[in-house]
Amino acid sequence: MAQVVLQLAFLGALAACGDDPGTGSDSLSPGSGDVPITSKAIAAVTLEHVPHTPHVFTTSTDKEDPDGMVGADLRYDPTGESDGGLLRVVVSPTLEEDPCGEHTDGCERRQVEGGELVVVWQLEEPEEDGGFLAVVMLREDEVVYAYNAAETITKDPRDMELRFPVELLEEIVTDQRLGLTTSQAAVDAGEQIPCWRGGLGGPCEDGGPLPDESGS
């Protein structure tokens, strides 16, 4: 797996509903904290912004990824032939390369409170992959990014009607609870996710079925 430094690139290659119980808007206190963040906490915070019940996994890492990188993968509409569309949210201490790199078709960056916000995308390659959209929040001592490979990017995504649009990804990465540390409430809420998979295709920790996306 490629480094988080441009997981935008590796995820570009990778790109080929009811309310979630226990992670609603009343379950997490606002603001950051001093508790080390977990994959489950990232998922819990993200689920406040995307009120669908996904299949939720730990983002896989390897020795090439920065120490301290933590992420959650949310999969939508899986089928027997597909793992489903991917929404990935990652927190990392570093981003070693400029996110506006050679593997992108568009990039916008602007200063916001707390750092620099970067919107970057790659257009689809018909019959190859669907492209991607990512929003990166560059803070002084950490990076948060949200990556949408669940939809086909046919043009500037700021002009598209998407399930996970630019504005939504910006809300996610600027959420103060997403950082290398977070609140105890966020960590506790992550532990309440009804069925968690440690990695793609792994068993639920409690041995139970994945949540029903229909909400039934």
CB 14 within 8 A of CB 86: yes
What confidence score (pLDDT) does residue 96 get? 73
Interatomic CA distance for residues 105 and 121, integer angstroms: 6
Phi, psi (degrees; rounded to nearest 5) at 46: -60, -40
Is 209 a residue whose pLDDT tops 90? no
> At residue 145, what is the residue type?
Y
- Supply the pTM of this predicted model: 0.80
Instruction: Give residue-wise pLDDT tens across range 91-134.
Output: 999 987 888 987 899 999 999 999 999 999 999 998 888 999 99
HSE toward the beta carbon, residue 78, CA cutoff 13 A: 17
